[in-house]
Structure 1
Amino acid sequence: MFQLRIYTLKDNEIASLYMNKYWQKHIVSLPKFGIKVEGVFKEKKNSLNDTCRVFALVSFQKNVNAKEKNEEYMNSPEFKEDMKGFSMRNILNVESLDIQKDDSLPFFNDLEVM
């Protein structure tokens, strides 16, 4: 199963910091909880002051309860260490969408970016 996580941050600068510093730490710590990071992306914004979103695509093994795994990670010392120095007030909203791929179609890793 895949999950798309959408984080709305206060502004473009904070979104860049969150993606480039804090998500780099998550990439290392999440696999310990059975969560694989497939990719992390930042919304392209021209204005520095507007809210900005970071998108993370993660995957879980079959028959794993994603909600339980996420809660386990969020309550872990690893998560607390990953987020040290980052004010959670900078994150205005978090949305998680459970998604699945259609095995009859090529997965995006097989596609070339134009």
Structure 2
Amino acid sequence: MRPALFLPLILLATPAAAEPALVAAAPANGASVAKVTRLSLTFSEPIAPASTVELVMTGMPGMKDHPPMPIRGFAAAVDRDGRSLTAPLPRALPAGSYDLRWRAVGADGKPNTGTIRFTAK
């Protein structure tokens, strides 16, 4: 038998490296919520402590052309379940629109990224 015939069998036997996919978020994408005091993301796969979130205020009521403003003063951490990234905020977010940018690092070291857009009332 020729070696080229074995190649498809070898490829089928190799496990695929799965990137952690976002399965739940609080606040949810597109949500309009009051008193946001915590950010929470849950992934399909375990994530590494190197996973991060960045919160940016993109709009403020009554202020036209609001420049993006990073929100600082909080830290995100991987929960005990290994699949959730949580960030308690020191106080409720002011009214406005926000982008929650996340970066989840899988067990294989490969990151997956995304953005959740929500509005705080």
* Interval containing the TM-score (normalised by the shorter chain): 0.3 to 0.5
Bigger Rg over Cα:
2
Q: Return the structure number with greater strand share.
A: 2
How does the TM-score come out when normalised to structure 2?
A: 0.35
How does the TM-score come out when normalised to structure 1?
A: 0.36
Q: Which has the higher contact order (CA 8 A, sep 6+)?
A: 1
Q: Return the structure number with greater helix share.
A: 1
